[in-house]
A = this chain, B = another copy of it.
Amino acid sequence: MALEHAILVSLAERSGTGYELARRFDASIGNFWKASHQQIYKVLGRMESDGLVTSEVVVQDGRPDKKVYAITDAGRAELAHFTTEPSAPEPLRSSFAVKLRALEHGDRDAILADVHRMRALHAEKLAYYETSAERFYPDPDALDPADVGPYLVLRGGIIGEQTALSWCDEILERLEGRAPR
């Protein structure tokens, strides 16, 4: 159950409300660990009972009150302990691959259209990652030590998207008999 740990990482970087965490999961952490706001609220509640985080209610006028969560020493200890455990290889699930495997049992044109669609999505995500990299880590050889982990994760995202794009191109080349684009 690494959602806890993803939340702990996020809170170790900066305290925030459940709402803020949900947005961070949309924009950054969520690139390698997805979670909805509903689930984040639920897990935050449990983590507070477990003493991994504390919350402080901040009264706002004109806006709903908010609960700012912060990581505790126990939370930091749990996070540190988590890093000592071997990673379980995540079971991967790709309905796109299932669809591709079903090529002979389905609608070839629809699948091709889907490949084009996937390609565009990956291109978009790659562009987003590359923009982030240039913006936040313009000089990767002079990184603040605190940035090394996040930078390497972003690099993983970049080469992952590049590979996904190459895969789409290879599929299109073989199925459409020409180089794409």
Contact = CB atoms under 8 A, between A and B. Distances in A.
Contacts of A106: 79-80, 82-84
Contacts of A121: 89
B152 A98 contact: no
A88 to B, nearest CB: 6
Interface residues of A, number: 65
Interface string A76-108: 100110111111111111111111111111110
A5 B102 contact: yes
A118 B79 contact: no
For this chain, the copies found in one complex come to 2
B156 A97 contact: yes
Contact of A95 (B5, B29, B95, B96): B5
Nearest 6 Cβ contacts at the A-B interface: A83-B106, A103-B149, A34-B91, A32-B97, A2-B95, A87-B96
29 contacts: A5-B98, A5-B102, A9-B98, A9-B101, A9-B102, A9-B105, A12-B102, A29-B101, A31-B92, A32-B92, A32-B98, A32-B101, A33-B93, A33-B94, A79-B105, A80-B105, A82-B106, A83-B102, A86-B114, A87-B95, A88-B95, A102-B149, A103-B152, A152-B170, A155-B170, A159-B166, A159-B167, A160-B167, A162-B163
